[in-house]
Amino acid sequence: MIEIKKLNKWFGDFQVLVDVDEVIERGQTVVICGPSGSGKSTLLRCINGLEPFQKGDVTVDGVSVADPKTNLYKLREKIGMVFQRFELYPHMTALQNITLAPMKVRKWSRRKAEEKARQLLERVGIPDKADVYPANLSGGQQQRVAIARALAMEPDYMMFDEPTSALDPEMIKEVLDVMIDLAKGGMTMLCVTHEMGFAREVADEILFMDHGRIVERGTYEGFFNNPKTDRAKEFLAQILD
């Protein structure tokens, strides 16, 4: 379970997160949407401690991210993360990208790590790309390798930071299919995305953020058919355009 309690964060004088509260239960998929600059990505990075915050707390399975005694490296092992621009290691093949963390962090043997990596490549639909370098993969393929890389650590949670925003339309589906499959398989997921089709299919809850606050929350139907705030109505009108 991830609990976010009165989370506040500033970049200098600028407040990026304002009193964010949220509870994500095991097995849930939560979709976060909102205009750019609303703090969505920063929120994800506060959850796994990649960004420090000044007030409030986040606990992951009861472990506090704000507590200086918490080993954040250990914590991150169970929270996989996928980035907008894939962020694969360009000097390594797809397979090497996936096996690095299990071998160095979990101390798995190469054999075990590669076996797992090949299973994951199979699962994301590109078993034949193991020995290919990222630059020779399409965007959709790169993102699927990135998902496999995160899954290789066998995380309990997965966070997606606009995973399809940098993709051509025809590649979006191949990535979303993998994500939908994951969500249906019971993975606990936090997804910053504007893919409303994805939200409709798997989201247990949708959060709408604006200016660092969660201004609206609800189920897909609730949010989509009956947005309460004008800001959300405006936003929906824009992305559905």
| 9 binds other proteins per the rule CB under 8 A | no
Nearest approach, Cβ of residue 25 and other proteins (Å):
22
Site for other proteins in 10-69 (CB under 8 A): 45, 48, 50
Binds other proteins by CB under 8 A, chosen from 6, 26, 74, 110 = 74
| 127 binds other proteins per the rule CB under 8 A | no
Which segment (97-105, 165-173, 179-187, 202-210) binds other proteins by CB under 8 A?
97-105
DSSP the chain: -EEEEEEEEEETTEEEEEEEEEEE-TT-EEEEE--TTSSHHHHHHHHTTSS--SEEEEEETTEESS-TTS-HHHHHTTEEEE-TT----TTS-HHHHHHHHHHHTS---HHHHHHHHHHHHHHTT-GGGTT--GGGS-HHHHHHHHHHHHHTT--SEEEEESTTTTS-HHHHHHHHHHHHHHHHTT-EEEEE---HHHHHHH-SEEEEEETTEEEEEE-HHHHHH---SHHHHHHHHHHT-
Binds other proteins by CB under 8 A, chosen from 101, 117, 175, 206 = 101
Binds other proteins by CB under 8 A, chosen from 90, 127, 186, 197 = 90
| 73 binds other proteins per the rule CB under 8 A | yes
Nearest approach, Cβ of residue 78 and other proteins (Å):
8
Site for other proteins in 141-200 (CB under 8 A): 146, 149-150, 152-153
| 116 binds other proteins per the rule CB under 8 A | no
| 95 binds other proteins per the rule CB under 8 A | no
Nearest approach, Cβ of residue 83 and other proteins (Å):
5
Question: Contact positions toward other proteins, by CB under 8 A?
Answer: 45, 48, 50, 73-74, 76-77, 79-81, 83-85, 87-91, 100-101, 104-105, 133-136, 146, 149-150, 152-153
